[in-house]
Structures are given as structure tokens and as C-alpha cells.
């Protein structure tokens, strides 16, 4: 603002509280990252920069298998929930209202209405029976659970994108004798892609972060990164925990940064 006139956007104290808030948000995370790079044997005494705890984590077979499980579950759950959510979004945003459309939307958002701990325990109780009957102990349970609570998150951006889309393009394509499937593949899908990508990314991060549901639903001996971290925490707070936390932090930040760059270049 060039002239020094009275500025309505200025509220005394707001900037100070905002800066304090930002510092309070970031300082603990920075301390954690610094601790991860600490070369000392005992957490808390600084002995110079070192990557030894990252090396120790990567050298740890339990950590590696937890990381692999996490990525498999997150990829599968994100892929499945995005496909399912896209289909639902197509069903409830095009054309006129159909019978029961409101109930479809409510059911799709139902996992959001249930507290995580309740969702996890209810599923654990049911899956305990399923595990007994089938004898299957694989990652399938985790993938099913994560897919379920990722559907509403994937649904959100896809539905928003579809709602803002121009229906006449599809009509034009159909008028030019393109089939329903051809129209979907060549017109609807390309236009919808940014929404689908955002939905996928959202679902992936939500799945990667989950600890409560995972720890309840997983089979014995099975770990994802967050459940492994939670288990290690119960034992002791070591520098390796900081290193693993830092790795998870970097993973989240790079995903956010990537999606931020993608959406900004589009504008």
C-alpha cells in the first residue's frame, strides 16, 4: 500500500500471535529433525552432525519391512479408494437427481462420522472372526480398512471437480456419435484427472499416516511404519525413533510440496 492511510486489515496483536503460532508449530518439529541428525549415543546430548541413526534405521530389518508394508497398503488403498470414489462421484454429480442420491452421499461420508478408535475397534472385533474362519493373516485386512476410510477423502476433490465441469462437452461428444465409454475415456476422464490425482494423493497421505486403525486391524507380527514407531516408543525414546520420524516427516513434506507445485503451475 503506497499511501499511509488507515489500514482496515490491520488488527493490533494479530501479527504477533501469528508469528508466535508459526514458531510454536515449527520449533518442535525442527528440534526433532536436529535430534535425528545427532551423532551421540544418548538422545539429548549433542555430539555433532551424523547420519548414523538414519543408517541404523535403514539397516533395521523390522523398519524396512514396516516401510514396505506401509507403502504397499497406502498405494493399494489409495488406488482402490480413488477408483471407487470416482465411480460414486460420477453417479451423484451428473444429470438430474436420482432416487436415493442423498443416501448415497451420506453412506460414502459415513466413515468420517465415526471416531477413528470406534471404527478401528469395531472392525477389529469383526475381523477377529473373519481371521479365525479363513485363517488368512495377510495385508488384505489393512488394505480393506484403509480403503474404507480413504473413500470419503478421495471423494471430496473428485466430486468438487466434477461439479465444476461443463456437461455440454459430454453432450457434444455424444452428439457426434461417440459411445458412452469413448466419451468417458476421451472427454470426461482427462477433464477429471486433476481431481482424481488430488484424491489419490489425499488418500495416500491419509493411509500412510494412520496409526490407530492399523494397530487394531493388523495381524500379529505385522507392522506399518506408524505402528512400528508406536511400538518402539513404548520401549524407549531413542535417536533411531527421531530418525524414523524425520523420514516420515520428509515423506509427507515432499508429497505436500509436490501437490502444491502441481496445483500452482496449473493456475
Partner 1 sequence: MPRNPTAAASESAVARAETRRRWSLALPALTVITLCSILPLGVMVAYSFMEAGQYGNVQWGFSLEGWRAVFLDRDFFDDSYIPATAHLTILARSILLALATTALTFVFGIPTAWFIATRPPATRAYWMFLITVPFWTNLLVRTIAIQEVIRADGTLNRLLLATGLIDEPLQMMFTNGAVLVGMTYVYLPLMVLPVYAAIEKFDFRLAEAAYDLHASRLYCLRRVVLPLMWPGIVAGSILVFIPALGAYVTPRLMGGGRAMMWGNLIDLQFGQGRNWPLGAALSITLTLVVVGAMVWYARRAAKGDATNG
187-226 residues in contact with partner 1 (CB under 8 A) are 205, 208-209, 211-212, 226
In the complex, least distance from residue 9 CB atom to partner 1, rounded to whole angstroms: 4
Contact letters for partner 1, residues 72-91 (x by CB under 8 A): ------------xx-xx-xx
> Does 58 sit near partner 1 (CB under 8 A)?
no
Residues 31 and 245: their CA atoms lie apart, in Å, by: 12
> Which residues in 108-167 contact partner 1 (CB under 8 A)?
108, 110-111, 113-119, 121-126, 144-145, 147-149, 151
Sole window of 15-23, 50-58, 164-172, 192-200 interacting with partner 1 (rule: CB under 8 A): 15-23
Residues 19 and 26: their CA atoms lie apart, in Å, by: 11
> Does 178 sit near partner 1 (CB under 8 A)?
no
Burial state string for 162-190 with b = 16 or more CB within 10 A and e = fewer than 16: beebeeeebeebeeeebeeeebeeebbee
CA-based nearest residue to 157, from 194, 185, 184 = 194
In the complex, least distance from residue 103 CB atom to partner 1, rounded to whole angstroms: 9
> Which residues in 88-107 contact partner 1 (CB under 8 A)?
88, 90-92, 94-95, 98-100, 104, 107
In the complex, least distance from residue 128 CB atom to partner 1, rounded to whole angstroms: 9
> For residue 244, what are the contacts with CB-CB under 8 A and spacing of at least 6?
57, 63, 225, 228, 229, 232
Residues 137 and 130: their CA atoms lie apart, in Å, by: 10
> Does 48 sit near partner 1 (CB under 8 A)?
no
Amino acid at each position: 500500500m503506497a499511501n499511509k492511510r488507515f489500514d482496515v486489515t490491520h488488527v493490533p496483536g494479530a501479527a504477533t500471535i501469528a508469528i508466535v503460532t508459526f514458531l510454536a508449530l515449527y520449533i518442535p518439529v525442527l528440534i526433532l529433525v536436529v535430534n535425528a541428525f545427532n551423532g551421540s549415543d544418548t538422545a539429548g546430548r549433542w555430539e555433532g552432525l551424523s547420519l548414523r541413526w538414519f543408517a541404523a534405521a535403514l539397516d533395521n530389518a523390522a523398519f524396512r519391512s514396516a516401510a514396505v508394508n506401509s507403502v504397499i497398503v497406502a498405494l493399494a488403498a489409495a488406488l482402490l479408494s480413488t477408483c471407487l470414489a470416482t465411480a460414486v462421484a460420477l453417479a451423484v454429480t451428473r444429470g438430474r437427481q436420482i432416487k436415493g442420491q442423498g443416501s448415497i452421499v451420506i453412506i460414502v461420508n459415513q466413515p468420517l462420522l465415526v471416531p477413528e478408535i470406534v471404527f478401528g475397534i469395531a472392525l477389529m472385533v469383526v475381523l477377529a472372526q473373519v481371521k479365525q474362519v479363513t485363517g488368512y493373516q495377510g495385508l488384505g485386512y489393512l488394505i480393506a480398512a484403509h480403503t474404507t476410510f480413504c473413500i470419503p477423502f478421495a471423494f471430496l476433490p473428485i466430486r468438487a471437480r466434477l461439479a465444476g465441469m461443463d456437461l455440454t462437452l459430454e453432450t457434444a461428444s455424444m452428439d457426434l456419435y461417440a459411445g458412452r465409454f469413448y466419451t468417458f475415456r476421451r472427454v470426461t476422464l482427462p477433464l477429471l484427472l486433476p481431481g482424481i490425482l488430488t484424491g489419490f494423493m489425499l488418500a495416500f497421505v491419509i493411509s500412510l499416516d494412520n496409526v490407530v486403525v492399523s494397530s487394531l486391524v493388523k495381524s500379529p507380527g505385522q507392522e506399518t511404519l506408524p505402528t512400528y514407531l508406536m511400538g518402539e516408543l513404548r520401549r524407549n525414546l531413542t535417536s533411531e525413533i527421531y530418525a524414523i520420524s524425520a523420514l516420515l516427516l520428509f515423506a509427507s513434506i515432499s508429497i505436500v510440496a509436490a501437490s502444491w507445485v502441481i496445483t500452482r503451475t496449473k493456475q
